[in-house]
């Protein structure tokens, strides 16, 4: 069997994503190659975490706002002066990429040109059935929870306030969001961090290694590595009542 031909779909976000991509492409894989990358430059408002945060800045404390702004400036500096933008990372590895601004279904011809065995998704884009059936082996997604717990948006936020397991899952995608078969998971110890930012940072760090392992599992047809007896949950963005619970639990945003 030849190496798996991969199309990577990744959201261009200032936080966490550059380090995740750098770790992913710097692995020397024996079973796959990333043929092309779609850089997602635009997400619909109803799915856009940055838009949600801007609308809900009043839920953040002044110290959290200042720390978040400081992190943003550092990341911008790294992107500009240390060549840590997604484009720079991909150029260094000579990986072909294109920017996308529309629904993934608008790029069917480009996907067909890539002829991928698998599509890896790390974005908030919705994959319709036509996209899901294009790759020979399907589409897989990285998600910051121990599925089936924490489906939907902000899973770590909800995991903390509702005492659900926190971690990272790599799973097959289906027409029902975050409901596909889990390939591999890794839990994060809740006692290790006390802020949303640190938990997400850890999840993205773990994601590169877990994606690499998941592709080896698929290629070699090994057994999936997942947690049993996890209670399913699925939620949208947090409400003001959810934020009140978050504050009562004494967790921080950053």
44-48, 84-88, 214-218: range with highest mean pLDDT: 214-218
| Structural domain includes residue 129 | yes
| Structural domain includes residue 253 | no
Q: Which domain holds residue 103?
A: 4-248
Q: Residue 52's pLDDT is what?
A: 83
Question: 119 pLDDT exceeds 90?
Answer: yes
Q: What is the CATH number of the domain that holds 203?
A: 3.40.50.170
* CB 166 within 8 Å of CB 175: no
| Structural domain includes residue 169 | yes
The tens digit of pLDDT for each residue in 63-97 reads 999 998 898 888 887 777 778 899 999 999 999 99
Torsion of CA 141, 143, 147, 151, to 10 degrees: -100
Number of domains in the chain: 1
**Averaged pLDDT for residues 216-239:** 94
Cα separation values, 147 from 3, 32, 52, 84, 128, Å: 28, 25, 23, 31, 21
| Cα torsion angle, 196, 199, 201, 207, sign | negative
Taking the alpha carbons at both ends of the chain, their separation in whole angstroms is 46
| Structural domain includes residue 94 | yes
| Structural domain includes residue 219 | yes
Question: What contacts 41, CB < 8 A, 6 or more positions away?
Answer: 12, 99, 100, 101
Q: Residue 194's pLDDT is what?
A: 87
| Structural domain includes residue 200 | yes
The model's pTM is 0.94
pLDDT class for 28, splitting at 50, 70, 90?
confident
**Averaged pLDDT for residues 29-56:** 86
Separation of alpha carbons 212 and 7, rounded Å: 14
């Amino acid at each position: 069997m030849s190496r798996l031909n991969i199309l990577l779909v990744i959201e261009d976000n200032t936080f966490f994503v550059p380090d995740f991509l750098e770790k992913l492409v710097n692995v020397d894989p024996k079973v796959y190659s990333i043929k092309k990358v779609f850089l997602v430059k635009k997400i619909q408002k109803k799915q856009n975490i940055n838009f949600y945060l801007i609308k809900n800045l009043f839920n953040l404390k002044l110290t959290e706002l200042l720390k978040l702004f400081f992190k943003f400036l550092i990341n911008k500096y790294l992107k500009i002066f240390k060549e840590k933008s997604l484009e720079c990372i991909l150029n260094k590895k000579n990986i072909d990429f294109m920017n996308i601004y529309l629904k993934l279904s608008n790029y069917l011809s480009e996907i067909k040109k890539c002829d991928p065995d698998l599509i890896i998704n790390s974005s908030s884009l919705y994959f319709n059935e036509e996209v899901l059936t294009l790759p020979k082996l399907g589409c897989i997604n990285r998600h910051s929870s121990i599925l089936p717990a924490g489906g939907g948006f902000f899973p770590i936020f909800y995991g903390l306030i509702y005492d659900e397991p926190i971690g990272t899952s790599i799973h097959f995608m289906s027409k029902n969001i975050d409901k596909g078969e889990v390939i591999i998971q890794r839990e994060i110890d809740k006692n290790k961090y006390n802020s949303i930012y640190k938990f997400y940072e850890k999840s993205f760090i773990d994601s590169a290694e877990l994606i690499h392992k998941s592709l080896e599992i698929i290629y070699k047809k090994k057994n999936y590595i997942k947690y049993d007896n996890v209670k399913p949950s699925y939620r949208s963005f947090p409400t003001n009542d959810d934020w009140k619970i978050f504050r009562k639990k004494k967790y921080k945003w950053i």
